[in-house]
Amino acid sequence: MKASPQSVQRDRLHATVSAALESRILGGELKIGDKLDSESAIAKEFGVSTRAVREAIQTLETKGLVQRRHGDRTTVVREDVGEFLGTLAVSIRQQLFSDPAYLEELMAARRMIETEVLEILCATPGPVAAAVTDALDRMRLARDAGDFSAFVDADAAFHLALVHSARNRILSIVYDNFANLIGEVIQLTSRVPTKSLEAAYDEHAEIYECLRSGDEIGAKSLMRAQIDNSARYLRIAIDKAHEEETGNA
C-alpha cells in the first residue's frame, strides 16, 4: 500500500525535528538531566505540528537519548555518543567472528579515521604528542625483549594516542570503541606466524618520522598499508581460530 503524500510529509517533518534534537544532545548543547522544551514550544520552533514533535521524541526515546515521564517534560538521559557507540560495538563484536565483511568494514572505518587524524596532525605545528612518542618507545622495548603481548599493548596505545592527540572529541569517542574491539582481535594474531616484531616496529617508526617531519602524504600512505596488512593478519588469525574450534567440536 502506497503511503499518502500527507504521511510522507509528516515523516519528513518528524525526522527533521528528531535529527536536530539528536544533534543538540550528542553535541553537548543539551546535557544529561536537561529538560526538552514543551511539545508546543518545539512545534513552534520548527514550524511543525505537535504530532510530528511527539513522533520525533519517540524516535529519540527508542535510541535511548531521552526519557518521557507522565506529567513532566522529556528528559535527556544520555550524556554523549559514547554509550550509543558502545552498544554498536557489542553488535559488531557478535558478528565479527562469523562474517568476514564485518572485519573488513571495521578496518576500513579505522583506516578512514586514522588517515584523517594524520592529516590534522601534519597540518598542526608543534612536536609529536608525548603519548605517541611514549607508545613507540614501549614498542621498541617490547621488540628488544621479544615480548609479544607488551608489543601488542604498545601498538594499540600508539594508534590510540595518535587519535587522541588530534583533540577531536567525536573522533576520539568513535575510535575508543573501535580500539577496544580491535585490541581483542589483535590478540588472536599470537595463534599464527606473523611478521617479526622488528618489521612491525619499523612500520610504526616510519609513520612517526613522517609525522614528525610533517610529511602528510608519506604518513597516510604508510598508515593505509599498515592497517591493510593488519587486516590480512587478523583474517588469518580468525580463520585459524575457527579451524581450532571446529576441530575441537
Residue ranges per structural domain of the chain: 5-76, 82-248
Amino acid at 175: Y
Q: Which of 11-20, 81-90, 144-153, 160-169 has the lowest mean pLDDT?
A: 81-90
**CATH fold of 82-248:** Four Helix Bundle (Hemerythrin (Met), subunit A) (1.20.120)
Record the cell numbers describing residue 23, joined without a space. Answer: 544533534
pLDDT tens sequence across 100-114: 677 778 788 888 999
- Please say whether the structural domain 5-76 has been given the CATH code 1.10.10.10: yes
- Check residue 47 and give left, alpha or beta (phi > 0: left; psi -120 to 50: alpha): left
- Name the strand (E) or helix (H) holding 153: helix 148-165
CA distance 149 to 151: 5
pLDDT tens sequence across 52-100: 999 999 888 887 788 887 778 888 886 444 554 444 445 555 565 566 6
pTM: 0.59
